[in-house]
Amino acid sequence: MEELKNIQPVLCRNEKVIAGPCSAESYEQVMDTAKQLYEQGVTIFRAGIWKPRTQPGGFEGIGTIAIPWLKEVKDRYGMKIAIEVANETQATIALNNDIDILWIGARTTADPFAVQSIANVISLAKSIDPNKDISVLIKNPVCPDYNLWLGAIQRIANTGITKIGCVFRGFKTYKKSIYRNEPIWAIPLQLMTEHPNIQMILDPSHITGDRKLINKVVREGLRIYNMDGVMIECHCDPDNAWTDSKQQIKPENLASYLDISNFNCNMFTGDVSDMNDEDKKLLNNYRAAIEKTDEKIVNLIVTRLSIAQMIGKLKAKYNIPVLRKDQWKKIIENVKNQLAIVVNENFNPYENSDDINYFISTMMENIYDEIHNTSIKIQEENNIN
């Protein structure tokens, strides 16, 4: 994956927000929304002109008529322009019309043929003009498939362009959810840890499908997971938008939805180097304590598994089956009772919300499921051999 090492940021230092309507609808709607976003300090304007619709019959985008409107936004407000491209023709039109950022939508990322055909257009444009400034954002595929996402990034990186970023817009899942697309954070996190040079931009609009949930997702994506910026749908008249009306917000409300003021300059730029000496020392102590605790955890888990192995040997000797459901239920009950006592002793009761209790007990169940599965495997080995 050498090609991914050269990837550079798409968003500059003081650029954190890409905003604009889901779809370009009319000259007036584009200009009005752009003007208001410009007044809010937004520097990158997004608008879909070809809309991938799950089912036919809806508005499929205004098409190339909107290109002069977007050029006017660029000329008048100095904003960069981002549009979605889903095939060769659309990528060619975008590149021939000075669109600054091309984004590949979730449905397209899931289709390696389509991604490759876009990559071919980019390679061709690069061979004609090696200095052409091309930026591409790649949304996660609709399904939670890490390698498919990575594969799309590789195909675009193989063109030789370096300004490539990712957009996290959540995943379609069959289960019922408050979200339109479930934010399975583990997947972007894997990408962010394995490829820290690739920017990860949060798209709270398509994750939530509902503006009421945007605050919550922004807080998680930016404050907790430290993503690099947001792409958010804004419309001058959201309720009457032709597409995605429930999730679009008014430009004037942008700062409050992003949970910050002055969002283009000082959004989550805090760093450990800003801490005073006392707090720095405290942090280092906490980190050292975590390391020590981890050592103990590893030791205890291995001890527990080795006891399970001895039990396995006894079971094998008397032909007793490995799994004993009642016994496992008892162990889990025991762990949960113990957990309730320990959580109350260790966490400040005033900050110890129901959420914390829920997170911890769910985590314990998952951890114990893993420990149990491994114990069973170890015992199985004894039984068969």
Partner whose binding site includes residue 235, from ligand PEP, Mn ion, none (CB under 5 to 8 Å by kind): none
206 contacts ligand PEP (rule: CB under 6 A): yes
Partner whose binding site includes residue 141, from Mn ion, ligand PEP, none (CB under 5 to 8 Å by kind): none
25 contacts Mn ion (rule: CB under 5 A): no
Interface with ligand PEP (CB under 6 A), residue from 169, 180, 211, 235: 169
Total of chain residues touching ligand PEP, rule CB under 6 A: 9
Contact string 99-118 vs ligand PEP (x = CB under 6 A): ------xx------------
Q: Which CB sits closer to ligand PEP, 50 or 263?
A: 50
Partner whose binding site includes residue 106, from Mn ion, ligand PEP, none (CB under 5 to 8 Å by kind): ligand PEP
Q: Supply the minimum distance, in Å, between the C-beta of residue 108 and ligand PEP.
A: 7
- Interface of this chain with ligand PEP, residues 12 to 51, rule: CB under 6 A: 22, 48
Partner whose binding site includes residue 139, from Mn ion, ligand PEP, none (CB under 5 to 8 Å by kind): ligand PEP
- Asked whether the beta carbons of 201 and 228 are under 8 A apart, the reply is yes
- Asked whether the beta carbons of 192 and 222 are under 8 A apart, the reply is no
- Nearest CA to 224 out of 189, 272, 256, 254 is that of 189
191 contacts ligand PEP (rule: CB under 6 A): no
Q: Which CB sits closer to ligand PEP, 101 or 106?
A: 106
Distance between CA 111 and CA 284 in Å, rounded?
A: 46
Partner whose binding site includes residue 155, from ligand PEP, Mn ion, none (CB under 5 to 8 Å by kind): none
Q: Supply the minimum distance, in Å, between the C-beta of residue 20 and ligand PEP.
A: 10
Partner whose binding site includes residue 16, from Mn ion, ligand PEP, none (CB under 5 to 8 Å by kind): none
106 CB contacts (<8 Å, ≥6 apart)?
A: 139, 140, 141, 142, 169, 181, 206
Please classify residue 300 by burial: count the beta carbons closer than 10 Å to its beta carbon, then call 0-12 exposed, 13-18 middle and 19+ buried: exposed
- Asked whether the beta carbons of 258 and 211 are under 8 A apart, the reply is no
Please report where in the chains the tokens 């370009």 appear, as a residue. 24
User: One-letter amino acid identity for 154?
Assistant: Q
Contact string 83-102 vs ligand PEP (x = CB under 6 A): -x------------------
- Greatest CA separation for the chain: 84
User: One-letter amino acid identity for 199?
Assistant: Q
DSSP codes of every residue in 317-379: HTT--S--HHHHHHHHHHHHHHHHHHHHHHS-TTT--HHHHHHHHHHHHHHHHHHHHHHHHHH
Q: Which CB sits closer to Mn ion, 19 or 322?
A: 19
Q: Which CB sits closer to ligand PEP, 105 or 188?
A: 105
Partner whose binding site includes residue 30, from Mn ion, ligand PEP, none (CB under 5 to 8 Å by kind): none
Please report where in the chains the tokens 């080795």 appear, as a residue. 306
211 contacts ligand PEP (rule: CB under 6 A): no
Q: Supply the minimum distance, in Å, between the C-beta of residue 174 and ligand PEP.
A: 17
Q: Supply the minimum distance, in Å, between the C-beta of residue 76 and ligand PEP.
A: 23
- Interface of this chain with ligand PEP, residues 127 to 156, rule: CB under 6 A: 139
The tokens describing 177, both together, are 């959810």
Q: Supply the minimum distance, in Å, between the C-beta of residue 14 and ligand PEP.
A: 23
Total of chain residues touching Mn ion, rule CB under 5 A: 2
Would you call 314 helix, strand, or coil by DSSP?
Answer: helix
22 contacts Mn ion (rule: CB under 5 A): yes
| Integer CA distances (angstroms), 377 to 206, 253, 314, 344, 383, in order | 41, 54, 15, 34, 10
- Asked whether the beta carbons of 30 and 24 are under 8 A apart, the reply is yes
Ranked by CB distance to ligand PEP, the top (closest) residue is 105
- Nearest CA to 20 out of 45, 40, 43, 2 is that of 45
- Interface of this chain with Mn ion, residues 223 to 282, rule: CB under 5 A: 244
Query: In the complex, which residues of this chain contact ligand PEP (CB under 6 A)?
Result: 22, 48, 52, 84, 105-106, 139, 169, 206
